[in-house]
Amino acid sequence: MACAASTTGKDWYKEVTYQQRRMASLKLVTYRLPPLPTIGEIIKLYNLKAEKQLSQNFLLDMRLTDKIIRQAGNLKDTHVCEVGPGPGGLTRSILNAGAADVLVVEKDIRFIPGLQLLSEAAPGRMRIAQGDILTYRLDKVFPAHIAKTWEDVPPNLHIIGNLPFSVSTPLLIKWLEQMSNRSGPFMFGRTRLTLTFQKEVAERLTASKGSPQRSRLSVMAQYLCTVKKCFTIPGRAFVPKPDVDVGVVHFTPLAQPQIQQPFKLVERIVRNAFQFRRKHCRRGLEMLFPESQRQELSEQLLHSADVDPTLRPTELSISEFRALVDAYSRLCHEHQGLNDYDFREELRLKHKTKRAAGNTKEPHLQTTMEEHPNNAG
């Protein structure tokens, strides 16, 4: 009897595991798209051509689009915003990965018919918005119930995109500012991003202290996020082939930003520090202050932050930038109007004054010449 019971138990276990495998297989089938024209065929069908002025480059190899999507993590039953889907290669990989809700935001109206074909193949799982991602309100298009607190795990919301080179940097800066303010797509929590950039930009984003690639973008991204360069795609994989290779970068916002100051204040310090990247950091930081107080206040800033003025901007760590931003914030409270100072405006006014001074002499010279015409020769 014991032996029979044991055999029955084994049979039951086999039946259960078979049913589990079968259900998992059926669910996988529901994620997989039905047979569709290839991306190359879609491009021919709708006579789509990449617009050079829009920095459009199509990625046709599904093995590469699948690889990009794997960098985003597990997309099963998640919400995804894809930026600039174009003919929809990356979109197919997102849908095949099991995303429950895919919003694609496409500026170029030529791609909409091909995307509609894809949407019909994935009923109820794909939405199409024709618009500019730089102005599109991502805080309005996802359900409130997916939101997490900032300190919690990231929400089931991802931003993914093979970004046109022309908008990649301004778009990232916009998202970093929204991340700092916890607005836009970050009102739902620490929304993750998986994006493509020119290889050089990807290297800047991930460059560490002391690297020749270290830049303003490195500091602004790394004080707010964990930034990971995933892999490089050779330019020849794109149609048309760009002049550069492409890097895939993944961003996860930090639960506690490394600098606890307003984004604009941080950006001001970092931008000034890197404007003379080959010189000592003091040279750029001096330009935060009016000429009449430049030496005094720049010395006070560096002393208060305990930062070596002979370091180059690329040699400054995030913690040193934090000390500089905190020290500058204190100086702004002590000196009214300092936060609004712009050395370019002071320089412009100085040149304007010089030109005005020069113009006052010209009428006098002209009068003299008219009064003494014989002197003209």
Binding-site sequence positions for S-adenosyl-L-methionine: 57, 59, 84, 106, 132, 162
* Residue 172 to residue 63: CA distance in whole angstroms: 26
Could you please report the per-residue DSSP string of 51-90?
Answer: -GGGT--EE--HHHHHHHHHHT---TT-EEEEE--TTSHH
* Residue 302 to residue 298: CA distance in whole angstroms: 6
Phi–psi pair at 251, nearest 5 degrees:
-120, 130
Residues 6+ apart with CB under 8 A from 5: none
Nearest Cα to Cα of residue 38 among 53, 59, 60:
60
Classified as helix, coil or strand, 272 is helix
* Residue 376 to residue 362: CA distance in whole angstroms: 15
Binding residues: 57, 59, 84, 106, 132, 162
Classified as helix, coil or strand, 207 is coil
Residues 6+ apart with CB under 8 A from 26: none
* Residue 14 to residue 20: CA distance in whole angstroms: 10
Angle at the Cα of 96 from the Cα atoms of 94 and 99, rounded to 5 degrees: 55
Two tokens, residue 280: 């000592």
Angle at the Cα of 375 from the Cα atoms of 371 and 377, rounded to 5 degrees: 135
* Residue 316 to residue 296: CA distance in whole angstroms: 22
Classified as helix, coil or strand, 141 is coil
**Beta carbons of 272 and 284 less than 8 angstroms apart:** yes
* Residue 351 to residue 345: CA distance in whole angstroms: 10
R_g of the chain, CA atoms, integer Å: 29
Q: Which residues pair with 59 in a beta bridge?
A: 238
